[in-house]
A = this chain, B = another copy of it.
Amino acid sequence: MTIYLDNAATTWPKPESVIQAMNQFNNLIGSNPGRSGHHLSVEAGRIVFNTREILAKLFGISDPLRIAFTSNATHSLNIVLQGLLKPGDNVITTSLEHNSVMRPLRELESQGIELTIIECSTSGQFVDTEKIRKLIKSNTKLIITTHASNVTGTILPISEIGKIAAEYNIPYCVDSAQTAGILDIDVQKSHIDILCFTGHKGLFGPMGTGGLYIKKNLEKKIRPLMFGGTGSRSEFEIQPDFMPDKYESGTLNTIGIAGLYAGVKFITDIGINEIRKKENFLLTRFINGISDLNKIILYGSQHIEDRVAVSSFNIKDLLPSDVSLSFDENYGILTRPGLHCAPSAHKTIGTFPFGTNRISFGYYNTVEDVDTVIKAIYELSNK
């Protein structure tokens, strides 16, 4: 028996409807959207549009064409960071970011872009939102933060950060890799100018899908990362300058997008708050189950409401990789040890370079799953 507790890496299993949607695309449609004009190509285009539409509705975006599809959140983040920032610009971010933000930023730093990194607390929390005001400079061209840490699960106060960014008229970009489909996101209410999301985590789509929302007119300041055929303005050898085509060169992962539609539909049918409630219930049971153990070090906020269902912990005197291996071999529990592609976050909470064990619950996990992993931790910590 296998207990999958690695939902922060990718959710699994996917809803049955996701697999069905992909099979249906494969069997009945199969064509390249926006390319050929025949009825199956048009049908493929309709699926792509419907997916933009259901995502727009999920994120409070009024115009679905403000969403461009990408291959993952990293792709979206690279479009924004490399496309918007120029040498001499300042960008503000946090010490909790994943390498999908830190690596492009370090590369840009080497090209003369100035980074301001807000240090978060050792419990992995973003403590003082007002501090941002003091960090904003005349050359600050972007504020970018994760919505929730992939290491500690800490939720950042994006609405408060967005409000400050809006006051200063600085674009605010949110990396929702760990939250889209799990927390309520409304780009209007939270003053989010750019939203980067991945399809294969909380949105229940397949790997290879992702996207990017850009506020109206802001795309004029963001160069494309790739150039190529878009099926539009084919008479020109220059890239179209309008959304979403500007950022969608090359054939889209249409079968993946068909699956992503079904994933988002699954979420909206159940209700995002129900998903959150279930994941919180599992996380609470887990935290309560292990927090009294002597040898356990738990990271992240004590308040469940401040977190998504990601939990990092260590067992004293045991390496995360050994714990994870034992989980897998002796209990069939699948987790992820180490640095989780987020060295900065681990430095923040003091777990660099060995990292932590990370358990990440998903909608399909059960009480029995939680109890099995608690039992495993008991046994490992008493050895």
B207–A252 touching, CB < 8 Å: yes
Give the number of residues in A that approach B within 8 Å (Cβ atoms).
Answer: 86
Q: Using a CB-CB cutoff of 8 Å, which residues 225-257 of chain A contact chain B? A: 225-231, 234-239, 249-256
Q: Known contacts being A74-B249, A253-B256, A256-B256, is A14 close to B30, with CB within 8 Å?
A: yes
| Nearest opposing residue in chain B for A232, CB measure | B341
| Nearest opposing residue in chain B for A108, CB measure | B227
B208–A71 touching, CB < 8 Å: yes
| A92-107 interface bits toward B, Cβ cutoff 8 Å, 1 = contact, 0 = none | 0000001111111011
Q: Looking at A75, A100, A251, A338, which has the most chain B CB atoms within 10 Å of its CB?
A: A251
| A203-234 interface bits toward B, Cβ cutoff 8 Å, 1 = contact, 0 = none | 00011111000000000000001111111001
B334–A208 touching, CB < 8 Å: no
- Residues of B with C-beta under 8 A to A74: 226, 228-229, 249-251
Q: Using a CB-CB cutoff of 8 Å, which residues 1-37 of chain A contact chain B? A: 2, 4, 6, 9-10, 12-14, 18-19, 22-23, 26-27, 30-32, 35-37
Identical copies of this chain, number: 2
A339 interface residue, CB < 8 Å from B?
yes
- Residues of B with C-beta under 8 A to A30: 4, 10, 12-14
B234–A341 touching, CB < 8 Å: yes
Q: Looking at A72, A74, A229, which has the most chain B CB atoms within 10 Å of its CB?
A: A229
B107–A238 touching, CB < 8 Å: yes
Bound-state CA distance A31–B3 (Å) is 12
Bound-state CA distance A106–B237 (Å) is 7
A99–B237 touching, CB < 8 Å: yes
Bound-state CA distance A18–B30 (Å) is 13
Neighbour of A228 across the interface among B13, B32, B103, CB < 8 A: B103
Q: Looking at A71, A334, A352, which has the most chain B CB atoms within 10 Å of its CB?
A: A71
B31–A10 touching, CB < 8 Å: yes
Among A38-46, A160-168, A298-306, A307-315, which stretch is in contact with chain B? Answer: A38-46
